[in-house]
């Protein structure tokens, strides 16, 4: 978390800081889960949502989609998956 203060005697700068605080507080309230007490975990989820899943003004896709659109999925033949057999899915 980066500490930001507004420019003294400049109401516009202070308004930007206050708007950011209000938005973060709103997301923390929206994502509140009963029983979750770790404030760091709640803050991480809210910041992730704001930074990667929110739409910017005029954008049609979230930034995480735009960022990863250049990455091509390729199969890697050396990697093999083995699933653990549990009593539920054993023959």
Number of compact structural domains in the chain? 1
Question: What pLDDT, on the 0 to 100 scale, is given for residue 49?
Answer: 84
Average pLDDT over residues 4-20: 77
Residue 25: domain span: 1-91
Q: How far is CA 18 from the centre of its chain?
A: 20
The pTM of this model reads 0.54
DSSP string, 50-62: IIIISPPTT-SS-
In the prediction, which pLDDT does 75 show?
A: 61
DSSP label of 5: -
More confident position, 48 or 22: 22
Q: What is the pLDDT of residue 22?
A: 92
Rounded to an integer, what distance in angstroms lies between the CA atom of residue 59 and that of residue 63? 9
């Amino acid at each position: 978390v980066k500490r930001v203060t507004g420019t003294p005697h400049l109401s516009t700068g202070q308004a930007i800081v206050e708007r950011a605080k209000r938005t973060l507080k709103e997301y923390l309230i929206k994502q509140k889960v009963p029983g979750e007490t770790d404030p760091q975990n709640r803050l991480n989820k809210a910041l992730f949502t704001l930074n990667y899943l929110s739409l910017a003004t005029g954008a049609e896709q979230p930034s995480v989609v735009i960022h990863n659109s250049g990455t091509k999925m390729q199969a890697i033949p050396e990697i093999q998956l083995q699933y653990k057999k549990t009593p539920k899915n054993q023959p």
